[in-house]
Amino acid sequence: MRVITGSARGRKLIAPEGMDVRPTGDKVKEAVFSAVQFYIEGSCVLDLFAGSGQMGIEALSRGAEKSVFVDSSKKSIDCVRENLKNTGFVKNSSVVTRDSYDYIANTSETFDIIILDPPYRHGHIAKILPLCAVKLKGGGSIICEYEKDAPEPSAPDGMSLRKIYSYGKINVAIFIKPSEEESEE
């Protein structure tokens, strides 16, 4: 596992051992970031259910101003901290050991991009997507990775589905929230 492109290109990343974390493959990661490439520069990114933190780190490498990493697992958070140190992004990051639902329901922060890659087979996407939509800035995107045989997530109120991408056993849905200007039209 590595950073694909940007200022930390080629840097190796570590992931926690065990079946709880399944790092996103390079092909999927490249496709996801190609789909949102014009929105990354200067953005504030939330990597919810962060795991190794590779998605938020990729965003930082591609020009995001800040990434917030949230995971309830101490093993995952330790990996995120190590990966941030190895890529030089500690100052551009906030790392939170907390339940993702509790964090998103209670944070006062808002984000330009929210990345959701929760554990599979628990229905997390459907439950947490509406909470994330409230914390998304106008013009922002929510990226959801989920198993192919799971129900397709529905767009939260005030958002629309941009596209669903399929890669082997996983799907990636990207939802967008109109900017304030688009909402007024």
Q: What is the pLDDT of residues 108-126, one digit of tens each?
A: 999 999 999 888 777 788 8
The residues that bridge with 165 in the sheet, in sequence order, are: 172
Two tokens, residue 10: 């080629």
Q: Give the CA distances from residue 152 to residues 135, 144, 167, in Å, rounded to whole numbers and listed in that order.
A: 22, 10, 14
What's the pTM?
0.92
- Round the average pLDDT of the chain to a whole number and report it: 89
Tokens 């909470």 belong to 131
Q: How far apart are CA 130 and CA 132, in angstroms?
A: 5
Band (pLDDT 50/70/90 cuts) for residue 19 is very low
Name residues whose C-beta falls within 8 Å of residue 149's C-beta, 6 or more positions apart in sequence: none
Q: Does domain 41-184 have CATH number 3.40.50.150?
A: yes
pLDDT at 80: 96
